[in-house]
């Protein structure tokens, strides 16, 4: 698979109270591209973070309906991925950010 496609699959990690609780079970939550498959998400996480992925679960999040001064609208739909790592693996987002700033 093309390396450029893998680098664009993960949009951002989702950092919420629920995702923090999921980290206790070695599961991390990411916002991903809508057309990404579970296999592509697995390869992207393994390539970017150099970890072994055990399982990937995905869900499509529907955009909320919103009202503004200009009328009604809708936020964009997006896809969420729950990535469970193999036993003993860990992702440290703080060290990844520090490495990018130093380069």
Tens of pLDDT, residue by residue over 83-103, are 999 999 998 877 655 555 555
Complete DSSP assignment for 39-67: HHHHHHHHHHH---EEEEEEEEEPPPEEE
d(CA 98, CA 39): 28
| pLDDT value at residue 58 | 97
Q: 3-102: what CATH class?
A: alpha beta
d(CA 26, CA 86): 8
| pLDDT value at residue 103 | 55
Tens of pLDDT, residue by residue over 52-89, are 999 999 999 999 999 989 999 999 999 999 999 999 99
Instruction: Give the helix/strand (H/E) hosting 77.
Output: none
Between CA 41 and CA 62, with CA 74 as vertex, the angle to 5 degrees is: 35
- pTM listed for this prediction: 0.83
d(CA 79, CA 101): 28
């Amino acid at each position: 698979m093309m390396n450029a496609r893998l680098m664009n699959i993960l949009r951002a990690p989702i950092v919420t109270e629920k995702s923090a609780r999921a980290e206790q079970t070695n599961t991390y939550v990411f916002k991903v591209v809508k057309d990404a498959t579970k296999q592509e998400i697995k390869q992207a996480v393994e390539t970017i973070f150099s970890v072994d992925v055990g399982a990937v679960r995905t869900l499509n999040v529907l955009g909320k309906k919103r009202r503004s001064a200009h009328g009604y609208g809708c936020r964009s739909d997006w896809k969420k991925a729950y990535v469970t790592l193999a036993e003993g693996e860990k992702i440290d987002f703080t060290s990844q950010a520090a490495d990018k700033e130093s380069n």
